[in-house]
Structure 1
């Protein structure tokens, strides 16, 4: 039998290219695996090292066997309970500029719900009812029985439920670009699994690091900015916050189906971002909220969703004037 040497050469070339391709793929897979291993190890080591650098602030109260952190500032005759928006990693520090203004006239309790700031995490489902009950128990333990509820973002959703349950305690509600139960786009399920992967793999730390420090750019001193950064690395997208994320659509749906709204006799002041392109009817939604209240005021402001980062003096002054007008 005779073999054709010309036919054998292409086979050898194919095998050689196949080996090169497989080797290249193996190298690429190895490089990617090594990258993830380095990112993962760096995150775990850094988390342990940074734990000793985080400085405590505020005071802890026990709720359902867990510790919730509250930062209390000011000694005024009236109390303001300050609630954060979803995902704000270090609420008590995020509100720093607003705290500086409000503490001149009020006793202010900045609440860090479970999963946020220096508070513990919890396995309890992050339904509106559970979150509201926990916050109420925490502020009750520090002697708050009559107060203004002031909140940012999703605190507007939780705030409606809170006021309906504890109307006899809440003097007024002040919203800082707060969510409205009827706002659009809240039916979609959010990718909690993807954010869990970012957290557990260490990629979240890398992403946060690459994005730079937003707080230093806002005018926070270097030390506080660094403390916020360390806590943010630790708590962002933790299991408690991811659980809250999975409940956001349901929490909005439940409020919408119940036609939940603030009681008409509750004084209401709303600070609204007038540059919100994501919600075309954002201003109209808040106008409707304000119109439902017997005593209300709505102020439009520039400054993005976190209005208190740039407008704290204006927010505090308008709030104080509003409280004087309603006789509180």
Structure 2
């Protein structure tokens, strides 16, 4: 009996030791990898001083009209994520990709990620760049911030373009922020992506760009800004319920059929936002939530037609 207990104790201690060594190894490898990656992240765009911090912005194209691109929640690098769409739009427009605080190469911030603060920062950035008139084009959560934005700066915004954008009435899930941050800090998030790299949604770009996106993902994942943004989801969506798009503002929504299949009310909720708009339309494309990864040319072509038609009608 004593011999059996001794064997069991040895086995348990061995298992515990292996687990401790495994967890420690994952943690150390993550720390070393982050340190190495920091020196491999390539700079792009330009820095703009906003609210005392550096906001990263890419400007491409020399068109007379300006399109400002805003990302979906948690996008590691908005500039690289929108690369295909920028390529399609920039021959005809001046395209401005804004990386909000906590995204891409922009600074992190401890300022609460309320819609109002985010809108104020984006507007300050555009003012610093001396951009006075523009079309606002956003993906996903930028539908909520964009709705707030166009109501505050109606005289500046010439049109709104939504890529499978969020709407105030949709259901929102609370992210387990603390648990996900622990997953990242422990190194297990890196390990999970190593085992299953398909978990990371990537645009159709070259391998070097994909590697940059991956490194920025590990750098920015649920940092202070993104954690605060997730914690403010409920209030930001609720506050947006009072808002409607201005009557004379042209609005077009590009929706993903996969999102419509998952959420049958998706299109009706967007139609509700357009019911009082003079010039509004909805286009559904086959594909998933990140339509700008797979339908950038189709979106760009339709945007050109939509903006041209509404320019003539103004």
For the aligned pair, the TM-score class normalised by the smaller chain equals over 0.9
Aligned to 2:254: 271
Change (3 A) 1:217 1:201: closer
TM-superposed deviation, 1:214: 7.7
Aligned to 1:130: 117
Change (3 A) 1:39 1:81: same
Aligned to 2:278: 294
Give the distance between the partners of 1:58 and 1:213, measured in 2 at CA.
28
Q: Unpaired runs of 5+ in structure 2? A: none
The answer on whether the counterparts of 1:272 and 1:286 sit within 8 Å (CA) in structure 2 is: no
Aligned to 2:35: 48
The answer on whether the counterparts of 2:202 and 2:210 sit within 8 Å (CA) in structure 1 is: no
TM-superposed deviation, 1:267: 0.8
The answer as to 2:206 corresponding to 1:221 is yes
How many pairs align? 311
Q: Unpaired runs of 5+ in structure 1? A: 1-12
The answer as to 2:98 corresponding to 1:114 is no
The answer on whether the counterparts of 2:84 and 2:204 sit within 8 Å (CA) in structure 1 is: no
5 Å matches for 1:17-36? 17-36=4-23
Higher alpha-carbon deviation: 218-227 or 79-88: 218-227
5 Å matches for 1:184-223? 185-186=171-172, 188-212=173-197, 218-223=203-208
5 Å matches for 1:118-197? 118-183=105-170, 185-186=171-172, 188-197=173-182
Deviation readout 1:259-278 (Å, 9 max, x if unpaired) = 22212221101101122233
Deviation readout 1:19-72 (Å, 9 max, x if unpaired) = 433333332222222111111111111111111111100000111221110011
TM-superposed deviation, 1:244: 1.0
RMSD between superposed Cα atoms in Å? 1.7
Give the distance between the partners of 1:63 and 1:304, measured in 2 at CA.
33
Change (3 A) 1:98 1:24: same
TM-superposed deviation, 1:111: 0.7
TM-superposed deviation, 1:155: 0.3
The answer on whether the counterparts of 1:75 and 1:103 sit within 8 Å (CA) in structure 2 is: yes
Aligned to 2:24: 37
Higher alpha-carbon deviation: 117-126 or 287-296: 287-296
Change (3 A) 1:104 1:213: farther
The answer as to 2:301 corresponding to 1:314 is no
The answer as to 2:222 corresponding to 1:233 is no
TM-superposed deviation, 1:294: 0.9
Change (3 A) 1:18 1:263: farther
Change (3 A) 1:225 1:189: closer
TM-superposed deviation, 1:16: 4.1
Higher alpha-carbon deviation: 237-246 or 159-168: 237-246
Give the distance between the partners of 1:17 and 1:66, measured in 2 at CA.
64
Aligned to 2:50: 63
The answer on whether the counterparts of 1:79 and 1:108 sit within 8 Å (CA) in structure 2 is: yes
SS in structure 2 of the partner of residue 171 of structure 1:
strand
Give the distance between the partners of 1:43 and 1:297, measured in 2 at CA.
46
5 Å matches for 1:241-260? 241-256=226-241, 259-260=242-243
SS in structure 2 of the partner of residue 326 of structure 1:
helix
Q: With the length of structure 2 as denominator, give the TM-score of the two structures.
A: 0.94
